[in-house]
Every structure is written in C-alpha cells, then in structure tokens.
Amino acid sequence: MSAEIITSLLSFQPDAPELQQKREYDKEAREFIKLVNGLTPATFLKGADSPQDPLNVLDPATNSIAYAFTLRHRIEAANKKSADQLRPGASLWNKLVLFLESFDPVQMRYAGEQWRKLVEYVELVARNEGAPALAIAPIRSAMFRLDATTGTFTSTHLRFIQLCMETRSYKAALPVLDNYIHSLPTAIAKETLEDLEYSVVAADSVASGEFINLKSGHTAVISLTDLQEYYVLGAMAYLGERQFHDALHFLEHVLVTPANNALNGLMLEAYKKWVLISCLADKSHKTLPRTMSSTAVKNCRNAAKAYEALAEAFQQVDNLPKLKAQVNAGSDIWAEDGNTGLVEELLDHQNRAYLSRLSRTYSAIPVSNIARNVGSSADQVTAFVDSLIGQGLLNAHLETKDKSGAGAVLGFYLDPTQGPLAKTEKQQQQALLEQTQRTNALAEQVRDADYRLSITKEYVGYLKRQKKKNGAGGGGGAGVDAMDMGYEDGDLDEDIMGDVR
C-alpha cells in the first residue's frame, strides 16, 4: 500500500518536459493539489519509519508539494502522540528545518496553506522547548525562498518580528526589515489570469503580490493593526541596532496610516518614539508627515506634551541643564512608556552634538575646558569621548597629554578623508551603487502595484464613474490623475484596508 501512495505522491514531476510551458505546469500543479487534498490524513502515515517512508523517498527540493503535505500530517500526528520527534535535533524537526530551507518556491506558490502551517509549526515547537530563537533562521529562510523581496505583507511577517523582538535578535530581523513592503494580500481578478502564459503563478516574471493573495493560503487574516504593529516592532529592532533613520522611517508608516479621525494605541506609541528618534536622527524635532490626519496630529500632541517639551529642550544645544531638568521631571512618564533608554540616549546625543559643534571652532581643545562647560569631571568627559571615538561616532582623536602637560586634549580631524569616520572613494562608490539598486527595485515594485491596482473592481468602478462624469460634463477626462480614485466617496480611510480583513 505504501508503494501506491509513493507513486501517487511522485505523479507530479515539475521537471518533466511536458510541463515546461507555464500554462501546462499551472494546470498540472493545480490538479495535483486536488489529488493530495483528497487523501485522508491516515494515508500520509503509512510506511512511516520504514524503508518506504515517503519522507525518505521524496526530495523536499524537487517534490515540494508532496513533501509539504506529508510533513504537515506527520507533524500533526506526532504532536498528538509524542512530541519527542519534534524536539530540536530529532527526526521530524530536522526534516522540517530542511524543508523550509530547501523547498521549491514555485511549487509552494500553489500550496500556501501547507507552507504557512509548517512555518507556524517550527515556531510552536521552538516555543514549547523554551527556545523561540531557534525558529528565527528557518522562518526567515522560508520567507525569502517563497518571496525573494519579502515585500508582500503576510501574517508571517508579524510572527517573525515578534520572535526577533522577544529574543532581542535585532540583527537577525534586518534582512527582512530592509526590504520594502510593496503589497498587501488582496483579491486578484480571475479573468486577468486565464489563458495568459506569463500571468499564471508559475511564471518567472510574476510578482509576489499576485500569488500571495487572500485565497492563496500563505497568510492568515491580517488587519491594519497588524501592519502598524509590524512597523512599530520593526522600528524598535532598528533602534536596537542604532539605525535611527530607518527606525524613524518605520514609525512614519504608522503615523500616516488612515485613522478615520481616531487614534489607536499603536499610533500614539509610534508618535512618542517618533518625537525622540527624530531628535536622534536629525538633531532636531522634525515636522510631522503632511499626510498624517489632522485630528490624529492634534490628539497625539495633546497626549504627548512631555515629549514635545523634551524635544524643544534638546534643540537648545548650549543649554544642557535644561535638557537634564526635563529628563528628570518626566522620569515616571518615560519609564511607564518604556522609553527611558531613548531619553537617556538624548542626553548622550546632545553631548555629542556639543562636541561636534566644537569642531567647527577648534582643531583641538583641552578636555578640562569641555568638562567645565558641561558640568562634569575631566575623567568622565575623557571616558565619554573615548567611547564615541571607539564607536565611530566622533571624527576625532584623544591625546592624553599635550606638550605643556595641561592634561588630555581632544583633537578633531578637519579632513573628512581622515579619522575613524573616513571613507575611501571605493566605499563611497559602493554605497551609491547599493542605493541605486534599491531605488530600481522599488521602482519595479511600484509598477507591479500600479498594475494590480488597475485590475481591481474598485478601480474599474472609478473609471466608469469618471467616464460617466466626463460624458455628462464634457471634456477634460484624459488627464485625470488615477491617484484621486475613491476620494469622491469620502470613505477612503475606512475602505483602504477592506481587502485585507
């Protein structure tokens, strides 16, 4: 009997010559999904732990659909009886990790529910063992294999960043966070995908927003709050790596989400952190994004007056005592909001700003002079300056003794090609090249998003209304900006996330 099962599971061979045409591949893949979906869970358990065990016969990289179904049912059965096989290092755990790191991404476009369940299992097992960090690498591998851009937001994105924050694995989160979220799971019009060689989900040129959708199974139901939480947690991960500009960018995503004249807790939390981080990233309190709801702006400012006062004191670089007084006055507020560390960073940052300003006037200055101005001892200032230079935050050098024996002297590098912050011409060119590549990738994602927008029923309805309006009023219809769609109904804030609920 197990031989018959293996024959059935091997009936779909993606490398077969007759499946090289994408439409034929698509047809056969869908038929195979129907076949394995029709098998009972007990069928996948036959031959387990024998020479004819399907998990030993199937190749996770070649027979990914069959392997995913078999592995899922095997894990569910083991979970009901004994979890020993699922523990890290055990048989099923090793097979699960191997699959998530080696599956065929095209086949998994057709088996979204199996992919998601296996990703959830690796997290569940790791948590049951009290070692959630073990799930981070397999989940990240699974995300990148399915979608190299990780740009279509799914419930796995939120699970992943929650794991990273829980285990303080900030650096592990960066490869995913650094990729733009360019799509949300939505409904793809079926008629646009029929009989088109390069529109089937197996096509080489298909974008992830086309095969990860509301019916594909790759994601659980997501909401606007899920997306906001992802960006808030992502900003905190960037903070953990001291990447303030990236953290600021993520928080702005939260602030500009449609609020429908209401303010939720995530937006308020994002605003408080945004006020502090804008000071750290840009040395001043930035102007709020223009697209943020005016009502939300008013509510945020009313609820975060202590943060506004702190930011105002921060901008007075020559008045360090005022900032210290504001920090001490609001210590209970910062602690309650979990922002004490950020506030303390403001103090350090203002001291760094003060030192940077000195470089505009002096090429070298005794540390004792600095200590008098900031109200600290020479030893404290020396230790602080030494740490800044060691972290690459100050382009200067410290001499413990000058020729006159007056004590430690701080010297500044006036030439930007010298010192700990210097970059070679090759490094500068590499940075420009990387930025160009990111910009080109983002432009391609925008084009894909525009295409998906153009085939939605909402957009088609908008075009019909515009055509009717232009026919009645006459003229001027050709230059209508497509980005105006939906505003005339006065309900954009409420409907914009309708497709992802």
Residue that wins the pLDDT comparison between 150 and 1: 150
pLDDT(368) > 70? yes
Question: Any idea which of 169-178, 437-446, 480-489 has the lowest mean pLDDT?
Answer: 480-489
**Maximum CA pair distance of the chain?**
93
- CA–CA separation, 214 and 472 (whole Å): 37
Q: What is the pLDDT of residues 392-449, one digit of tens each?
A: 777 788 877 654 445 788 888 776 666 666 666 677 778 788 888 878 877 776 777 7
- CA–CA separation, 437 and 430 (whole Å): 11
Here the tokens at position 69 are 């179904």
| Mean pLDDT rounded to a whole number for the chain | 83
Q: In this structure, are residues 374 and 351 in contact, taking their beta carbons and an 8 Å threshold?
A: yes
CA 300 to chain centre: 24
Quick one: pLDDT at residue 494?
39
Quick one: pLDDT at residue 421?
60
Here the tokens at position 86 are 């699922």
- CA–CA separation, 118 and 122 (whole Å): 6
Q: For residue 379, how many other CB atoms are within 10 A of its CB?
A: 11
Exposed, middle or buried: residue 274 (CB in 10 Å: 0-12, 13-18, 19+)?
buried
Q: What is the pLDDT of residues 25-57, one digit of tens each?
A: 999 999 999 999 999 998 898 878 777 889 999
Quick one: pLDDT at residue 484?
42
- CA–CA separation, 365 and 342 (whole Å): 29
Q: In this structure, are residues 275 and 307 in contact, taking their beta carbons and an 8 Å threshold?
A: yes
Radius of gyration of the chain (CA): 28
Here the tokens at position 310 are 């702190």
Q: What is the pLDDT of residues 207-237, one digit of tens each?
A: 888 899 888 999 999 999 999 999 999 999 9
**Nearest CA among 185, 195, 131 for reference residue 158:** 185
Q: What is the pLDDT of residues 82-140, one digit of tens each?
A: 777 788 888 899 999 999 999 999 999 999 999 999 999 999 999 999 999 999 999 99
Question: What's the whole-model pTM score?
Answer: 0.78
Q: For residue 155, how many other CB atoms are within 10 A of its CB?
A: 18
Question: Any idea which of 150-154, 183-187, 246-250, 476-480 has the lowest mean pLDDT?
Answer: 476-480
